[in-house]
Amino acid sequence: MASLSLLQTLLGSLLYNNPTVKRTKTSSEKAISKDEADKKAWHAANRQNTFDAYQAYLNGKTLKRYATVAKARLQKDEKAWQNACEQDTAEAYQAYLDGKTIKEYAVEAQTLIQSFAEQPEAWQKPSQQNTTESCQTYLDGNTVKESAVEAQTQSQSAAEQQQDEEAWQKACEQNTVPSYQAYLKGQTLKQYADVAIKRLQSLVKQQQDEEAWQKAREQNTVPSYQAYLKGQTLKQHADEARKWLETLLKQQEDEEAWQKACEQNTVPSYQAYLKGQTLKQYADEARKRLQTLQQQQQRYTDNGDGTVTDKKTGLIWLKNANAFGSQDWKTAMQCAANLSHGQCGLSDGSKVGDWRLPTKDEWEAMVDNRYKPALSNAAGTEPWKEGDVFSGVQSSWYWSSTSYKHNTSLAWSMYIDTASVYSYGKKFTYYVWTVRGGNSRRSLRET
């Protein structure tokens, strides 16, 4: 049995090693052979590390156990190339070539890098100038125009910028609210929008302040300037407003001081006004009135009984120069003759028949206190007025008791404001101012 087994073994070995003898491979041997073929194909593709090599491996008849890796490498390279194309710069293409992919697009990448390095001189200058004219010159030229698209884009951009610049310059030259509003509402790029908004806001505030100031100046009152200074505007005229306010306050203070002096109408009141700390806008008037009152005090004495004594003529005048109103001459004579104690503020003990109308000469002596010589028609100081030593003095004509000798239907009268004497018909109505003392017979003398 042992001899038989050994014989079979030897016989089998001879058959296997004999090339002339054909035999059938086993399934295990076939699997090993396919796997080795796939490995061999993959190693070849991996050594070449190119798109074609990996594509050949994937298209081959082997097992393609490494298909996933091959596809991944192909996809990685494709993605890297797409990224470089999107950036479209020399740096991006160089990064693709320096990367770890299979570089299927290496030749194209190198060509593009070279094109960036060898950009035509015809485009370099326009691209640097970046103006509509330079770009258009490039496009109209006889060069290859590899940068035509870029030139057109840059030309359009430059044109829009130039249009915006012109719109902005126009707005700045006018420098008004409407000009900046027009710029902001326009169809240009509005590169200066932020500046335009700031300037517009500033101009609006200035305009509001100017309007507030003009209103204050037009009113020109203490409240108007106070309102301006308290307002919410810029107050560019604050210093001037304070000056005007101070001036008006001083004027107002002076007006009040003057009104007070006029109301009292006395020597002390005018002296107080002139010595005060106000503006004294009425100083000249105050001095005149003061002088008049002092002169009156020197010549006239208020007797405190409704009468005033003229120390120059010795005549006693009724203090109230409008006790009887306006009358014709005959009535005026009767009013004067019937006047007595207890009437028209009198407490002097006078009797009926003591009072009369002043004569023409007495009138002239009276007004000589305030005017130049009689009948000159040239005013000296000022007319009699309310608040002087007399009261109720009218700026009008007053009757005298003197008839006109050439026509007794006329009588002389005196116009107080101008010291004018004139004869009028006795039926006219003039004011009545009575007097007593002196030579009463002269009152009936015709002149």
Percent residues over pLDDT 90 in the chain: 45
Alpha-carbon torsion (385, 386, 391, 393), positive or negative: positive
SS3 label, residue 120: coil
CA distances from 225 to 114, 125, 231, 253, 279 (A): 77, 63, 10, 16, 20
DSSP 8-state class, residue 332: H
- State yes or no: pLDDT of 382 exceeds 80: no
What number is the average pLDDT over the span 51-64? 87
Q: Rounded distance, CA 195 to CA 172, Å?
A: 10
Residue pair 267/294 in contact by the 8 Å Cβ criterion: yes
What number is the average pLDDT over the span 184-206? 91
In 252-288, which positions are buried (b, 16+ CB within 10 angstroms) versus exposed (e)? eebeebbeebbeeeebebbeebeeeebbeebeeebee
- State yes or no: pLDDT of 443 exceeds 80: no
pLDDT digits (tens, 9 = 90+) for 227-237: 999 999 989 99
Total number of residues shown for the chain: 447
In 418-433, which positions are buried (b, 16+ CB within 10 angstroms) versus exposed (e)? ebbbebbebeeebbbb
pLDDT digits (tens, 9 = 90+) for 2-55: 555 555 555 555 545 555 545 566 777 777 788 888 888 888 888 888 888 888
Percent residues over pLDDT 70 in the chain: 80
pLDDT digits (tens, 9 = 90+) for 298-325: 788 889 999 999 988 899 999 999 999 9
What pLDDT is stored for residue 372 in this prediction?
39
Lowest-confidence segment of 121-135, 171-185, 202-216, 355-369 by average pLDDT: 121-135
SS3 label, residue 100: coil
pLDDT digits (tens, 9 = 90+) for 88-125: 888 888 998 898 888 888 888 888 888 777 655 555 66
What pLDDT is stored for residue 405 in this prediction?
93
- Cα R_g (the chain), whole angstroms: 63
- What HEC string does 217-250 produce? HHHCCHHHHHHHHHCCCCCCCHHHHHHHHHHHHH
Higher pLDDT, 322 or 376: 322
**298-444, CATH topology level:** Mannose-Binding Protein A; Chain A (3.10.100)
What number is the average pLDDT over the span 266-285? 92
Nearest C-alpha neighbor of 401 from the set 324, 322, 334, 348: 334
Q: Rounded distance, CA 256 to CA 279, Å?
A: 11
pLDDT digits (tens, 9 = 90+) for 341-367: 999 999 999 999 999 999 999 998 888
Extents of the domains making up the chain: 35-118, 298-444
